[in-house]
Amino acid sequence: MEKESVEGRFVNHAEDKNFGDVMVVGGGISGIQASLDLAETGFKVYLVDKSPAIGGKMSQLDKTFPTNDCSMCIESPKFIECDRHPNIEILTYTEVDRVEGEAGDFKVTLIKKPRYVKEDKCTGCTTCVEHCPVNVPDPFNQDLSHNKAIHIYFSQAVPLITYVDPEACLYFKDEKCNICVGVCKNEAIDLNQREEKVEIEVGAIILSPGYEIFDPKVRGDYGYGKFENVVTSLDFERLLCSTGPYEGEILRPSDLKHPHNIAWIQCVGSRQILEGGNSYCSGVCCAYTQKQVILTKDHDAEAKATIFHNDIRSFGKDFERFYQRTENLPGVRFIRSYVSIGKEIPETKNVTIRYATSEDGVKEEEFDLVVLSVGLNPPDKVEELANKYGIELNAHKFCGTNPENPIETTRPGIFVSGAFQGPIDIPESVMTASGADALCSQLLAYRRGKLAKERTYPPEKDVSGERPRVGVFVCHCGANIGRVVDVPSVVEYASTLPNVVHAQESLFACSTDNAQQIADTIKEKGLNRVVVAACTPRTHEPLFRDTLREGGINPYFFEMANIREHCSWVHSREAKDATEKAKGIVRMSIARTGLLEPLQEFELPVDKRGVVVGGGPAGMTSALSLADQGFEVYLVEKEPDLGGMARRLYFTLEGLDVQAYLGDLIRRVYRNSSIHVYTDAAITEASGYVGNFTTKLTTEGMAREIKHGITIIATGAEEYRPTEHLYGEDDRVLTSVELGEQIAKGEERVINASSLVMIQCVGCRNEDRNYCSRVCCSHSVKNALKLKELNPEMNITIIYRDMRTYGFKEDYYREAADKGVKFIRYEPDDKPEVETAEEEGKPILRVTVSDPILGQRLALNADLLTLAAAVIPSPTTNEIARLFKVTLNPDGFFQEAHVKLRPVDFGADGVFLCGTAHYPKHLTETISQAYGAAGRAATILTKDSVVASGAICEVNENDCVSCGACISVCTYGAIEFHDTPKGKKARVNPILCKGDGLCNSRCPTGAISLKHFTDDEVFSQIDAALPALEAEAALIDIQPMNKAKIAA
Amino acid sequence: MCTGRIDLAFILRAFSNGADGVFIGGCWPGECHYITEGNYLALSGMHLCRKLLELVGVNPERLRLDWISASEGNRFAEVLNDFSKKLKELGPLGKGEGVSEKGLKSKLEAVTKLIPYIKLVERERMRVPVKSEGEYNKFFTSDEFDRLFKELIVEKLEISQIMNLLREKPRSTGEISEILGISPSEISRYVNDSARQGLVRFDERQNLIAAAM
């Protein structure tokens, strides 16, 4: 425990205040993740955002696909992490003016725009907002609701500081009104503030400016801006959100009534070559629309939803199931048709849409609300941005990148992460952020840790002799809890309960100032237990535990009562009962805190070597990045040669020569003295834990044992060997990869074929493999284009279900169609059939397929048939999962810790994931993810020690009867017998124990117990939930539902 | 903490405190968030506990276990609404079963006292070798399980219940039979066995049985 006081929270090693390691420009989820990773790796970061708060577009979203996690709930803990991290300085409302210098030594001039509020004085109390007489459209809510001319950008904003909109403020018109200045008790408002220039010096820059949404107003697309009830998908996102304009009620703009019949129009602004549109596919709209449909049905089960779409591009992990889930909801129609807006009905303001289907021809239908699924544009003023940084843009005005390293811009020392690379979703934005961290860390390895600071806490107070003094903080969560649960009455109730010495409300208990206030109250009132009644411990417990440390007490004296998920959200229509239930939950938590014990977390030393399993491009890229960051790496490959699946690939759609790239990569790996390559290797045993793994393997017949601190799993994937369509029976039937190989080898029968048919989705998007293999549509287009180049006369037909050439790959799909490649769509219940036949005495393959447009069966004669065979998990996957104790998803690919925000981490600490072992992906995506994994791994390897949880099991040897029941259920192998004078007794290895507590429930004598969840602690909660029968009458009548104790 | 951490004692304590039902929500088999698959332990615990509840006269449907993942909010609500409905049909604990409050509480206490022993029996004799929901359900509804349960647990429990009553005060065979609903001849058999082990003694004069001190 450090001896510094909380006032001197940050120990400042930096000589010069304006000297940093990396500047991250753009505080969306990608910039946030890059900053956190850099800060954790020991670099000082300036996080610069032009908005009044960090958060970016993700903070405006209601939920995230395909898990429907609440967007703000998973992102806002990261705001706070950034805010509290001693190595991150956040500069909001700030623009970059000029960048000079070169990699390792950039001088940046920043302009801090005037907020007209002193940042160090404002407490975020919003008294000024209440008194401000001017209403302005609220940009955070897409101008759908109003805010004041002085306001906080959004409720969970970091920094939680107001700013003045000078366009709207009356003071800036005629200097008449300065009410806000008068009401601010802290004298924080300064209407004479001017813009300020700040100069900083950094070694590297990460650009994460994100994207803008396509604005349909410009061309008046689909009546947007003209008809009130036509909104964009981002407008709709705000309508869905509980912090949105109508507090989560979906109300349409014209009459603020609930729309029951809603239409979505896909590809608005995307996949168009018209003036003002974008030719590329925005990649995210299919999935976000499906999410919006599911959420709409959650809000209103009777609602009807119609989606007018082109191809459905569910190419991401778990997207196919998400699509099916949406499609199977009652009242949901997916209609494949181009549409046009008909008219607005004057009386109802409903809007009609004209569309056409092959069954019914042209129709016109009326809807209550129309949502435009708008695509992603490059950021605003992108040319100016490019000039400022001296970087090149691509044809679509996104960042120009190198296909061999998609995180590098064209200027050394400047990297790109997130959607400025091109239209990508949140997980990719996060993994490229970690990748950008890795590249900065490679560049600046020599100066790592020189500017970093450490957080210190006040000494921990020993409260063992004290009786419990519980403080209760009941959170409104803005309106999330407060509009259903009667928060003041919960506070009042809590203050009557035993041991409670302080109870109060909080608007956002998790906001920086409220958390600080909790820490202060602990000290002022001598609290030794804290209950926060708010949301879920899953996202917020770490923050509040930290708050307790800042208040000077052990973090395990904290207990969270979840009155949002368990009360306000599920019982939103039963406010009274929800309040009673909240009281019950708070009562349970308070009872439990009385028994909590202070626990110590372990500091474990870190072995600064890494193991990378899998020697394909993913594994090699990760290994090289770690080596360049200064760590020793063991690269383990099961085959005799490095290269993996890429050995069978020759060119990419974008024209990368894969073999040349791969050869160079392999050479760099072998030449790097920090990388030890083990080929022909089989891992036989893996044990240990984060910071201290031991892996045993045999390589070229010899046994080896490696000690290492982290593991990256990059075991890749394989191509499915089809059993369909005569594959293996007729040598004219090839897979896509085989076709690519034969083209590269100049195989004459391939290049000179007069007709070629390709069948997509062979072996996936079916019952056996309910996922899309993501890469096959682009692979087929790639092969088709190559063949057209070599033999323009060749007849090529691609038989597909949905062409999933997402992102910029759409251009190649269009090019193929322009060059005469024919595309015929088929339905899964009417698959193409293949037979051998003779045509004019020549043996051919005959493919028959129903043409949905012509409505008849077509017979195609082909010299060659290729099957776009599924990408399937590597056969070693199960074994690797078992050895490293990590999990697989239902499709047999590795399962990351969190689909959105921890895309390269495993649930098991210290183990990371990249490449096609995670899910099928293109080579450039694999490279990005490999840098991401290396970046995440380095956050551990740069540290001297890692901390393990205190909530683990412990044996009271006096009660142990050596029955071994605990050992038999501990798959972690954390419990062993050891000899004592009284015989063999069980003992827990605190590092291996993960705190599941199975041993505790199996021990017949109660000798082993799970700390923080002991029998007595759980009993205290049960007793508080259900006071003994005689006492019950005296207590509030709890509803039967609440009585059912919810476990786990 | 995992569903497998749920101790039989937790469930019994809730019923002792008058809960009308206990619900356990766990991760789906095969989707363990640890690597320990403790949800199977929860499953066997649930089966065993239902049997114990039945034995003491509590409708076993008052205990329910369902697999619900963190992303299945709708399913959670459906399951809980359905369970609440079921509990309303069953009525308040004890009343629905037609069992007296006091009798029920005493029986639950007797079972609670036996938990250490039940844990040993469960581990030695009732572990299902194959981790599949089907195999678990098959075993816990088999005659084999019924036989083991009767042999290993029921008898112990009845003795434990008799001892509980005798520790309060000496009682006659008839009185015990009436309170516990066990036949007088069974009681005589248990009492004779216990007397041989020196656990009870006979008060010949008053024709009462008393717990040995």
Q: How far is it, in rounded angstroms, from Cα A966 to Cα A985?
A: 11
Residue pLDDT, tens place only, A945-967: 988 788 999 999 999 999 999 99
Statement: the pTM of the whole predicted model exceeds 0.95: no
Buried b (16+ CB within 10 A) or exposed e, A35-65: bbbbbbbbbbbbbbbbbbbbbbbbbbbbbbb
Residue whose pair of structure tokens reads 């006081």 in the numeric block: A5
CB contact residues (below 8 A), chain B span 40-79, against chain A: 41-42, 45, 71, 73-74, 77
Angle, alpha carbons A875-A877-A880 (nearest 5°): 130
pLDDT of residue B213: 61
Residue of B nearest to A295 (CA): B74
Q: CA A249 from chain center: how many Å?
A: 26
Q: Contact at 8 Å (CB) between A243 and A60?
A: no
Classify residue A536 as exposed, middle or buried by CB count within 10 Å of its CB (0-12, 13-18, 19+).
Answer: middle
The Cα angle at residue B56 between residues B52 and B60, in degrees rounded to 5: 55
- The order of strands in the sheet holding A1045-1047 is A1045-1047, B22-26, B63-67
**pLDDT tens column, A240-282:** 987 789 878 899 999 999 999 999 999 999 999 888 899 999 9
Can you list the residues of chain A whose pLDDT is less than 50?
A: 1-16, 1029-1048
Question: Which burial class, exposed, middle or buried, applies to A1027 when counting CB atoms under 10 A from its CB (0-12, 13-18, 19+)?
Answer: middle
Given the DSSP bridges, would you call strands A795-800 and A755-762 parallel, antiparallel or unpaired? parallel
Q: Are strands A692-699 and A558-562 parallel, antiparallel or unpaired?
A: unpaired
Q: How confident is the model at residue B137 (pLDDT cuts 50, 70, 90)?
A: very high
Q: Is A178 on the interface with B (CB under 8 A)?
A: no
In eight-state DSSP terms, residue A393 is: B
Count CB-CB contacts under 10 A for residue A879: 13
Task: Provide the pairing of β-strand A681-689 with A692-699.
Answer: antiparallel
Question: Domains in chain B, start-ordered, CATH in brackets?
Answer: 3-165 (no CATH), 169-213 (1.10.10.10)
Whether residue B35 and residue A887 make contact (CB cut-off 8 A), yes or no, is yes
- pLDDT at residue A987, as a whole number: 95
For every residue of B110-173, DSSP letters joined together read HHHHTHHHHHHHHHHH---SS--HHHHHHHHTSHHHHHHIIIIIIHHHHHHHHHHHHHHS-B-H
pLDDT at site A17: 62
Q: Are A204 and A51 in contact (CB under 8 A)?
A: no
The alpha carbon of residue A456 is apart from the nearest alpha carbon of chain B, in Å, by: 30
Distance between CA atoms of A685 and A624, rounded to whole angstroms? 25
Residue A898: per-residue pLDDT: 87
A1044/B3 CB distance under 8 A:
no
pLDDT tier at B208, thresholds 50, 70, 90: confident
Contact A292, A329 (CB under 8 A): no
User: Which chain B residue lies closest to A995 (C-alpha atoms)?
Assistant: B1
B44: distance to nearest CA of chain A, Å? Answer: 12
CA dihedral A260, A261, A266, A268 (to 10 degrees): -80
Alpha carbon of A426: minimum distance to chain B alpha carbons (Å) = 18
pLDDT tens column, A883-913: 998 888 889 999 998 889 999 998 788 999 9
Measured from the Cβ of residue A794, the count of other Cβ atoms closer than 10 Å reads 20
Question: What does the block give as tokens for A387?
Answer: 């000039």
In DSSP notation, A164-198 reads E-TTT-THHHHS---HHHHH-TT--B-TT---EEE
Which two tokens mark B139? 């075993």
Please report the beta strands in A348-433, taking only residues with DSSP state E, as ranges in sequence order: 351-357, 361-367, 369-374, 376-377, 414-416
Q: How far is A60 from A918, CA to CA, in rounded Å?
A: 28
Nearest to A1040 among B14, B20, B26 (CB): B20
Instruction: State the Cα–Cα distance between residues A379 and A93, nearest whole angstrom.
Output: 16
Question: Nearest C-alpha of chain B: how many angstroms from A793?
Answer: 52
Distance between CA atoms of residues A49 and A31, nearest Å: 9
Q: Touching check for B21 and chain A: CB below 8 Å?
A: yes
B23 to chain A: which residues are within 8 Å by CB?
A: 1044-1047
**Which chain A positions have a beta carbon within 8 Å of B71's beta carbon?**
67-69
CB contact under 8 A, A965 and B10: no
CA–CA separation, A750 vs A864, rounded Å? 7
Give pLDDT, residue B119. Answer: 92
Distance between CA A664 and CA A15 in Å, rounded?
Answer: 42
What are residue A354's DSSP bridge partners?
A340, A364
Q: Does A970 touch chain B (CB under 8 A)?
A: yes
> Mean pLDDT over all residues of chain B?
88
Instruction: Count CB-CB contacts under 10 A for residue A311.
Output: 22
User: In 3D, which of A4, A48, A1046, A16 has the Cα closest to residue A562?
Assistant: A1046
Nearest alpha carbon to residue A481 among A567, A573, A411, A395: A567
- The tokens of A341 are what? 């807006």
**Would you say the C-alpha torsion A832, A838, A839, A844 has a positive or negative sign?**
positive
- Structure tokens, A309: 């779409």
For residues A550 and A460, give the distance between their C-alpha atoms in angstroms, rounded to a whole number: 9
Query: Which of A41, A27, A414 is CA-nearest to residue A209?
Result: A27
Do A390 and A99 contact (CB within 8 A), yes or no?
yes
- Report CA A34 to chain centroid distance, whole Å: 13
pLDDT of the residue at A1042 = 38
Q: Look at residue A947 in the predicted model and tell me its pLDDT.
A: 81
Q: How many residues does chain B have?
A: 213
Reading the block at residue A56, the tokens are 């970016």
Contact A998 B10 (CB under 8 A): no
Strands A710-713 and A609-613: parallel
Count how many Cα atoms sit within 13 Å of the Cα of residue A442 in the half-sphere of its side chain. Answer: 23
Q: How far apart are CA A424 and CA A492, in angstroms?
A: 48
Give the model confidence (pLDDT) of B22-68 as tens digits: 999 998 887 677 778 899 999 999 999 999 999 989 999 999 999 98
Residue A720 contacts by C-beta under 8 Å, 6 or more apart in sequence? A735, A762, A763, A764, A769, A869, A870, A871, A872
Domains along chain A with CATH numbers = 1-113+195-211+378-460 (3.50.50.60), 114-193 (3.30.70.20), 214-376 (3.50.50.60), 470-597 (3.40.50), 605-716+874-947 (3.50.50.60), 719-872 (3.50.50.60), 952-1010 (3.30.70.20)
Average pLDDT, chain A: 92
DSSP A986-1036: EEE-TTT-----HHHHH-TTS-EEETTS-HHHHHHHHHHHS--HHHHTTS-
Max CA distance (Å), chain B: 68
Q: What is the pLDDT of residue A1033?
A: 42
| Residue A3: per-residue pLDDT | 35
CB within 8 Å of chain B, chain A residues 531-590 = 570
Note the pLDDT of residue B70: 66
- CA-to-CA dists, residue A758 to A747, A781, A783, angstroms: 18, 10, 10
Given 3-state DSSP classes, what are the helix, strand and coil percentages for chain A, each rounded to the nearest 5?
A: 30, 25, 40
Contact: A1044, B88; criterion CB under 8 Å: no
User: What are the residues whose beta carbons fall under 8 Å from the beta carbon of A436, sequence distance 6 or more?
Assistant: A34, A206, A208, A407, A415, A416, A417, A931, A935
Q: Find out whether A920 and A720 touch, Cβ atoms under 8 Å.
A: no
Instruction: Name the one residue in this structure whose structure tokens are 């990460």.
Output: A206
Q: Residue B118 and residue A965: Cα distance in Å, rounded?
A: 12
Q: Are A204 and A106 in contact (CB under 8 A)?
A: yes
At A165 the pLDDT is 93
Between positions 112 and 171 of B, the ones with CB within 8 A of A are 115-117, 119-120, 123
CA angle A491, A492, A498 (to 5 degrees): 90
Quick check: B33 contacting A, CB < 8 Å?
Answer: yes
Which pairing describes strands A351-357 and A339-344: parallel, antiparallel, or unpaired?
Answer: antiparallel
Structure tokens given for B213? 């001190």
| pLDDT given for residue A186 in this prediction | 80
Measured between alpha carbons, how far is residue A1029 from residues A216, A556, B4 in Å?
64, 32, 28
Of A885, A998, A1032, the CB nearest to B4: A998
Verify whether the Cβ–Cβ distance A972 to B36 is below 8 Å. yes
